[in-house]
Structure 1
Amino acid sequence: MVLYFTSNVVSPSANIYMGKDKYENEELIKYGWPEDVWFHVDKLSSAHVYLRLERGQTWEDIPEALLDDLAQLTKANSIEGNKKNNLTIIYTPWSNLKKSGGMETGQVTFFKNNLVKRVHVKERDNAIVNRLNKTRVERHPDLAEAKIERDREMRAEQREADRKRRQQEAKVQEQRKKEVEARSYGGIFKEEKMRSNKELAEMGLGEDDFM
């Protein structure tokens, strides 16, 4: 079962989700999306909280108000961390999560430590936690199928983008071809006119003699 939350501190509202236990966390690690950003209490056990970014957003420019929501939700879903003040919440893109064979269920590390950011949480903010909990919805999604469908849509979008790019490149090439031909025809016409004028001059005639 996956728990879903909605944060309305941004527009459009942000979609947040997390696994109910370590086994769900394992599935979320496996079937995350490139648009997902992972949150966890630093050096303590906690839920794996994910933010699903909108298209065009990046994990490096998450608004501060939304970061506060995510940090508070992550802290509130840590048995030990929920009782402590002055915690650090870490976050990183889903693609930076590294899972190796010797790790325990739900445990992860990172491919690149320099892609991990931190948020300081002074204390629990009940107003934020209560607001988010009111939006909580429990679902049983087929994560594997959702990932397949998402990847299928992305491939279709990429094919369409490639088609439009090739079409645009063809138009540019055709326009350049026409410009080259126009310059060539202009040069031929100018050369022919120069020859005609030269021939007339040799004959002692000018263009006005034919008018």
Structure 2
Amino acid sequence: MTTFADEAAYYETRLDELRRDQLKTVQSAAGRWSALMTAVLGVFGTVAFAGGLTTIDKLAAPYDVVAKAVTTLAAVTAVTAVVHLARAAGGLRLEDLTFPNGKALMNREARLAGEARTRLRTGRWFAVATGALVLAGSGLVLWCPTAAPGPAKVLVRFPDGAACGAPAWAGGQLTVGGRPLRDAVEIVPVAACPKAPPR
């Protein structure tokens, strides 16, 4: 039969174990948070590419600027979260102990556990902020209207030259670059007009 003294002794031992293992506990939690953030961003990337999301450049103003700002901020918070969580998980920096003894080791463990806990708290905050920004950016890309396409452009070859641009109605006839299309030898639709070579 277990007595109260046995129970008290057991939990005193457990308390010592928890106190001694607090650095490992914080480091383990930081590793799990880092893995979670990586998984969330990986899922978003998979869904985005599989679904063929509209690119930011195709969004109508001012949504395109907002989406670019949100994406940039998400990248900054993601990098900051990764740095803090990696530092909290440990292993990025090694310290040498000069003339180590039990008390110095105990103080070092307590200090490192405190630093890791602070890093974990900060990294966790930035990880949550990254997730929120990624969701906000996804919402913008999914639900905001796209920019209206510009006027169709054509490349027109005339007997004595060529012109490119959007067809326009002028002087009772269809023209490109001020020249009537009735004189055209060839008309080719293009996405954009070629740039003139430098002189």
TM-score norm. by structure 1 comes to: 0.25
More helix by share: 2
TM-score norm. by structure 2 comes to: 0.26
More strand by share: 1
